[in-house]
Amino acid sequence: MDMTQEPIPSVNLEFATAGPLPVPLYEHVKRRISEAILMGTWPPGSLLPGEVALATQFGVAVGTVRRALGDLTAEGMLMRRRRSGTVVTGRAPQHSLRFFFQYFRLHGEDGTLLRSEPEVLVMKTTPATEAEAADLALERNAAVLRLHRLRIVMGKPVMHERMVLAAARVPDFPHPKSKVPALLYLHLLEQYGIRIAAVRERVTAVLATVEDRRLLMLRHPSAVLVIDEVAYDQAGAPTILSCHRAMTDGYVYLNEIR
């Protein structure tokens, strides 16, 4: 890792602060810095801007930035050096409820974190099915937003996923599908005050369907990992129903409980 490189240009890390924040301000700063690291804006070895510069970019006090950097340093994502400043280490928690909305839970066989690019295949609003209404505690035929996304790693499709959430909870959700945020959970937090706090999963392995084989470019027969998931918000209300279908050749699914 090159620790002597010149500081990279500052990036736009501004975020909306209108209305009450659902989490402490330093947590917002912390999440945006970690997002920039995980999305590759600040790759390993990068020297972050100084605390004053970051505070100016975020529009917060220097003390708020200092606390966020301190937490990220304690968690291993950053390294503080007296002379050179704050450096990105390239290390990160494998998976925790604090960060999971920023992570792709299929990792390489060696445990390396994989960065994925989501491609939205379908986005539409329709009435909920009877089962969906029951699972999301909605009235019968309530409108739900449906997303079908493909996850791509290094140009290769490795997972496709369907997500369902109550349309009433996400008014003015970005559209068309090209505008859907890559980090959906982060968008829910910042725009709607919905913080995903817990996830219940059911994991099975099945033979790939025709759709699986087409989207993931699999041979017949092939197996896929199926993860049926219910995500709950900070109040314990069911918020998102998801079904992830992933190839497993060359990848592993990591889920760490803390």
Burial of residue 183 (CB within 10 Å: 0-12, 13-18, 19+) is middle
50 domain residue, yes or no: yes
What is the rounded average pLDDT for all residues in the chain? 81
Cα–Cα distance measured from residue 71 to residue 23, given in angstroms and rounded to the nearest whole number:
15
In this predicted structure, what is the pLDDT of residue 45? 85
Note whether 82 and 127 are same-domain residues.
no
* Distance of alpha carbon 230 from alpha carbon 241, whole angstroms: 5
Please determine, for residue 106, whether its predicted confidence score (pLDDT) is greater than 90: no
Q: What is the pLDDT of residues 107-131, one digit of tens each?
A: 777 766 667 789 999 999 999 999 9
pLDDT value for 136: 96
Instruction: List the domain range (segments joined by +) for residue 37.
Output: 1-92
Residue 219 has pLDDT above 70, yes or no: yes
CATH assignment of the domain containing 184: 3.40.1410.10
User: Which segment of 81-85, 101-105, 142-146, 177-181 scores lowest on mean pLDDT?
Assistant: 101-105
- 196-207 sheet: strands from edge to edge: 117-127, 143-153, 156-166, 238-247, 223-233, 196-207
The reply to whether 86 and 109 lie within a common domain is no
Which two three-digit tokens encode residue 41?
């804006």
**Residue 29, pLDDT above cutoff 90:** no
Structure tokens at 77: 């994502």
Q: Alpha-carbon distance 158 to 91, whole Å?
A: 23
pLDDT digits (tens, 9 = 90+) for 173-217: 998 888 998 888 878 887 888 878 788 899 999 999 999 999 999
Cα separation values, 216 from 157, 159, 165, 204, 236, Å: 5, 7, 25, 18, 34
Number of domains in the chain: 2
- Residues of the chain with pLDDT > 90: what percent? 42
pLDDT at 105: 65
- The answer to whether position 258 is within a domain reads no
Phi, psi of 59, deg, nearest 5: 75, 35
CATH number at residue 78: 1.10.10.10
Which residues sit opposite 233 in a β-bridge?
196
